[in-house]
A and B are shown apart, each in its own frame.
Chain A
Amino acid sequence: MNTFISAVLVGLVGVFCMWDSRLLGRLNFEQPLVGATLVGLLLGDVPTGLAVGAAVELVSMGLVQVGAAVPPDMVLGGIVAAAFACLTDASAETAMTIAIPVAVLGQLLGIVFRSIIAALTHVADSAIDNGKFKTAYRMHICAGSGLYAVMYFLPIFLAVFVGTDLVQAIVNMVPEWLSTGLNVSTKIMTAYGLALLLTMMIKKGMTPFLFIGFLLAAYLNLSVIAVALIGVCLAVVFMGFKFNGSHAAAGVDSDYDPLEDDED
């Protein structure tokens, strides 16, 4: 089979696996075992695809994506490794080693694209202001899915069509200060997103609850689910103070808030 066609086919497997988590709620097509098997199927060597997929899947087991952290991209690695094993008779282990720079490039693209989409969010904001509602949600369904597709297609296609040397060269071109710096940027962007949410939520006298939530998670290492459940209990307790009794004289005292402080 023509290398160009193989590269496109393997790239499309990558797009399909990426869209599994983007458009299908992560049905688990985005797993090394499935991606590698699909590559084997398309390149006419199912047993090799299965073997590579099983090997990479074992490595990736136990890696659960939590929060904004970007884990080593085993799916991308698995797809590329399967393609190399099918096309060059490399063993599963060798193919995995070759696949590492490709996974690194995919991750770098991932950081850049997720930042670009953060900028697109602002484009959508102003589109809504201008009454262009379709433009706003197309940022999600068209631009978002499109960028995520490129993020997988490009490194896979390059690796299979031109070779991993080129991919390695691209990765080497990106200076380390830039990639570690962008990593810090993503953290500040997350802080920005949460701060935006807070501007809509903070009401007079409610700020202490924000800090209670923070302190519980920071000092006691409680998860957000634990913090939310404690919040429900606290809210019920405070509701007793806030609403009890004052309702006989509704309207007179309805603005009373035991936590009210005189900020503003």
Chain B
Amino acid sequence: MATATKDVSLNKKVSQFFWRSWAIQASWNYERQMNMGFLYGMVPTLDRLYPDESDPKQLAAKKEAYHRHMAFYNCTPQTSAFVLGLAASMEEEYAKDPENFDPDSINAVKTSLMGPLSGIGDSFFQGTIRVIAFGLGVQLAQQGSIMGPILAMLISIVPSVLITWFAAKIGYQGGHEYLSKLQGGDLMEKLMYVCGIVGLMSVGGMIATLIGATTPLQFADGTVVIQDILDGMMPQMISLGLTGLMYWLIKKNVNTGWLLVIAIVGGIALSAAGILA
């Protein structure tokens, strides 16, 4: 499939990643967190790659690509610009050479990067910059100076702008540079293997850290606390069980709408019954 990519300057592309990574949280939700935000960031690239919706082949490829980027995603907006740029370069390589490029590698790379990049991003922006900026800002504001909030905003905005811009640029350009080197040979296969492992292990880590479901069940006047027993065997066992249950239901082809209803109604029912908290 020869895709005639419209020529768009690098700066235009980078500025699209820039603004759209900032807007990545606009539909943050409990189920897949920033999934639609990531898709929104990919839309210009995907629309350029598959411009002709009357061609059934292109339409199918476009639907598949849109679906691909609706997967669970969560990462600091500023560092997400890097992932957006990289994923866009991968989509472009895939559209050029759909025979030899495994599209699963795109989500594998995204999932591998989101853990480390949000760890770095959150501790830098929320843990460091914010504390410095508002530590100074509050001091000045207490003395009644309007410079307090103004200074705090300046300290916050400058690094944010710089990091987002260069992260997007490096992700996009670096992606193309390395991907062309990876084509041919088994390097791509090796990269896929590494990303597959790192991605799966990250999701395992997220199951243990993001869900945090517990049980308030107690027996014999509070001397037998079920959660303590479970923690003694395996901490976060309930979170793992819930994920396993949902995975099994998805594999059973239960309608996705029903699954959401199960999650909401089931949560309220289990909480009211005193089984989950």
Contact = CB atoms under 8 A, between A and B. Distances in A.
Interface stretch (B88-96, B125-133, B221-229): B125-133
Contact of B234 (A218, A224, A236): A218
Contact of A224 (B28, B62, B63, B202): B202
A148 B28 CA distance: 9
Contacts of A115: 29-30, 264
A141 B31 CA distance: 17
- Chain A interface bracket (under 10, 10 to 19, 20 to 34, 35 or more): 35 or more
A239 B266 CA distance: 42
Contacts of B209: 67, 217, 223-224
A218 B247 CA distance: 19
Contacts of A46: 146
A197 B33 CA distance: 12
A129 B60 CA distance: 9
A169 interface: no
Interface stretch (A2-10, A93-101, A120-128, A152-160): A120-128
Interface in A13-68: 21-29, 31, 33-34, 37, 46-47, 50-51, 53-54, 57-58, 61-62, 64-68
B32 A121 contact: yes
Interface stretch (B2-10, B69-77, B169-177): B69-77
Contact of A216 (B160, B203, B205): B205
Interface residues of chain B: helix, strand, loop or mixed (majority): helix
Interface residues of B, number: 120
A116 B205 CA distance: 26
A117 B66 CA distance: 18
B153 A187 contact: no
A65 B196 CA distance: 28
A133 interface: yes
B210 interface: yes
Given A25-B164, A189-B263, A191-B242, A213 B202 contact: yes
Contact of A184 (B35, B108, B208, B270): B270
Nearest to B25: A22
B146 A209 contact: no
Contacts of B32: 118, 121, 193, 196-197
Interface in A153-204: 177-178, 180-203
A184 B276 contact: yes
A55 B98 CA distance: 58
Given A187-B211, A236-B194, A121 B137 contact: no
Interface string B231-243: 0001111011011
B125 A136 contact: no
Contact of A212 (B23, B131, B152, B201): B201
A39 to B, nearest CB: 12
Contacts of A182: 264, 267-268
SS class, residues of chain A in contact with chain B: helix
Nearest to A222: B205
A25 B268 contact: no
Nearest to B65: A128
Nearest to B257: A122
A120 B270 CA distance: 24
B43 interface: yes
Contacts of A209: 196-197, 200-201, 204
A33 B148 contact: yes
Nearest to B272: A177
Contacts of A178: 268
A131 interface: yes
A117 B29 contact: yes
B12 interface: no
B138 interface: yes
B123 to A, nearest CB: 9
- Interface hub of B25, B35, B112 (most chain A Cβ within 10 A): B25
A227 B157 contact: no
B260 A192 contact: yes
Contacts of A201: 104, 107-108, 111, 196, 199-200, 203
Interface of A: 21-29, 31, 33-34, 37, 46-47, 50-51, 53-54, 57-58, 61-62, 64-69, 114-115, 117-122, 124-125, 128-129, 131, 133, 136-137, 139-141, 143-145, 148, 177-178, 180-203, 206-207, 209-219, 222-225, 227-232, 234-236, 238-239, 242-243, 247, 250
26 contacts: A22-B25, A23-B23, A24-B23, A25-B25, A50-B146, A67-B210, A120-B36, A121-B36, A125-B67, A131-B53, A131-B63, A133-B62, A141-B26, A144-B27, A177-B272, A187-B239, A192-B259, A196-B31, A200-B104, A207-B200, A209-B196, A213-B203, A214-B236, A217-B205, A227-B202, A231-B198
User: 6 tightest A-B contacts by CB?
Assistant: A213-B204, A144-B27, A185-B267, A213-B201, A181-B268, A225-B119
